[in-house]
Amino acid sequence: MTLDIRDLSFSYRAGFLNNRLCPVLKGLNLELDSGEIGILLGKNGAGKTTLLKNILGIEKPDSGSVLIDGTDVLKMRRADRAKLISYVPQIIDFGDLTVYDTVMTGRISYMGLSPSRSDREAVEKILNDMALSDLADRSVEKLSGGERQKIAIARALVQDPKLLIFDEPTANLDISNEALVDTEMVRAARERGVAVMASLHDLNQAMVIGDRFFFLSNGHVVRHGGKEIISEELIEEVYGVSVKIMETGNTKFILRKEIQR
Ligand code: ADP
């Protein structure tokens, strides 16, 4: 699977008559392949969430397109799009469902009037793969933030998607829960061959899990590539803050040098 974003422009509409355009994405290009983890980076307000919404078909571009293996996502039937692309929200409110039933809601685009044997098998397999079987009958509300986020990932993966979208998936989690979620993102890419696209604000977390990095600024991807593109100059240019980069093994650590004056 290839995600191919071509010349994508998007504006929000504001004002009394919805006639004032606020351009956010201005002819943006991006490509991501199966099995890769792509990380969207850029200052708050750069347009990361807006781009993810355009990929999901929640927002419609003014011009340009989001193609999956050459097919425009907006031309797909909603159920077909849901099978290809899954979204893991940052804050999840499952209500009072059990873990099993919550994950089953991920099968809705496959289901007839009620879950079939193959739906039940798919749910059981994913719970087993993600070591969640012991929690199957527990209420999601009673679980920790990290466990809940894992269940959101299980619900997304049970759709058997080709592309998994995360918007700041660990923004509310402590370091151990962040590690749980990161592990599942990496497993989805490496073991299932899913393309993962995530927006992150933590550059060091991005370095640990990312394969491809896309820096958004002024409505464009201003730089993209593997870890080799990450430099003190680039971070300074995109975020306007001086940093020191330390390299150990395969990882780069980004340290902020000083407070803003
Ligand atoms: P990021 O995810 O990088 O922080 P967003 O995509 O959330 O950025 O926002 C990009 C820009 O679009 C910001 O200037 C934000 O204020 C604006 N914006 C976001 N949502 C809306 C909306 N629903 N209506 C109008 N402007 C919006």
Average confidence (pLDDT) over 193-218: 97
34 to each of 47, 164, 182, 188, 196, how far by Cα in Å? Answer: 23, 10, 18, 10, 8
Can you give the three-state secondary structure of the chain, one letter per residue? CEEEEEEEEEEEEECCCCCEEEEEEEEEEEEEECCCEEEEECCCCCCHHHHHHHHHCCCCCCEEEEEECCEEHHHCCHHHHHHHEEEECCCCCCCCCEHHHHHHHHHCCCCCCCCCHHHHHHHHHHHHHCCCHHHCCCEHHHCCHHHHHHHHHHHHHCCCCCEEEEECCCCCCCHHHHHHHHHHHHHHHHHHCCEEEEECCCHHHHHHHCCEEEEEECCEEEEEECHHHCCHHHHHHHHCCCEEEEEECCEEEEEECCCCC
Dist. CA 161 → ligand 1 center (Å): 27
Domain that holds residue 153: 34-60+77-230
Q: Of all protein residues, whose CA lies closest to atom 22 belonging to ligand 1?
A: 12
Structurally, how many domains does the chain consist of? Answer: 1
Percentage of residues in the chain with pLDDT exceeding 90? 82
Residue 68 located in a structural domain: no
Residue (of 261, 248, 251, 200) closest to 230 by Cα position: 251
Average the pLDDT over 173-196 and give the result: 94
Asked whether residue 145 carries a pLDDT value surpassing 90, the answer given is: no
Amino acid at 203: L
Ligand 1: residue whose CA is nearest its atom 27: 12
Pocket of ligand 1 (CB under 6 A): 12, 14, 22, 24, 42, 44-50
- Give the pLDDT of residue 233: 97
pLDDT at 13 over 70: yes
Retrieve residue 26's tokens.
Answer: 């201005």
pLDDT digits (tens, 9 = 90+) for 109-138: 888 788 999 999 999 999 999 999 999 999
Written as one letter, the residue type at 251 is T
Percent of the chain with pLDDT over 70: 98
Band (pLDDT 50/70/90 cuts) for residue 6 is: very high
CA of 49 to the centre of ligand 1 (A): 7
In angstroms, what CA-CA distances link 247 with 95, 177, 204? Answer: 44, 25, 11
pLDDT score of 232: 96
**pLDDT class of 243 with cuts at 50, 70, 90:** very high
CB 154 within 8 A of CB 98: no
Question: Does 213 fall in a domain?
Answer: yes
Task: Determine, yes or no, domain membership for 241.
Answer: no
Instruction: Specify the pLDDT at position 260.
Output: 64
How confident is the model over 54-83, as a mean pLDDT?
94
Residue 261 within a domain: no
Q: What is the CATH number of the domain that holds 155?
A: 3.40.50.300
Q: Is residue 27 part of a domain?
A: no
Residue 219: band (very low, low, confident or very high) from pLDDT cuts 50, 70, 90? very high
On whether residue 67 sits in a domain, the answer given is no
pLDDT in the model for residue 172: 81
Q: Is 70 exceeded by the pLDDT of residue 46?
A: yes
* Residue 28 belongs to a domain: no
Nearest CA to ligand 1 atom 5: 47
Smallest CA separation from ligand 1 atom 7, residue: 49
Q: Hey, whose CA ends up nearest to atom 14 of ligand 1?
A: 45
261: confidence class by pLDDT, cuts 50, 70, 90: low
Closest atom of ligand 1 to 44 CA is: 4
Q: Indicate the length of the chain as a whole number.
A: 261
Residue 2 in any domain: the answer is no
* Atom number, ligand 1, closest to the C-alpha of residue 51: 6
Q: Which of 16-20, 164-168, 255-259 has the highest mean pLDDT?
A: 164-168
Res. 18: pLDDT tops 70? yes
Mean pLDDT of 162-187: 93
Closest Cα to atom 23, ligand 1: which residue? 12
Separation of CA 70 and ligand 1 centre (Å):
28
pLDDT at 133: 96
- Index of the ligand 1 atom closest to the CA of residue 53: 6
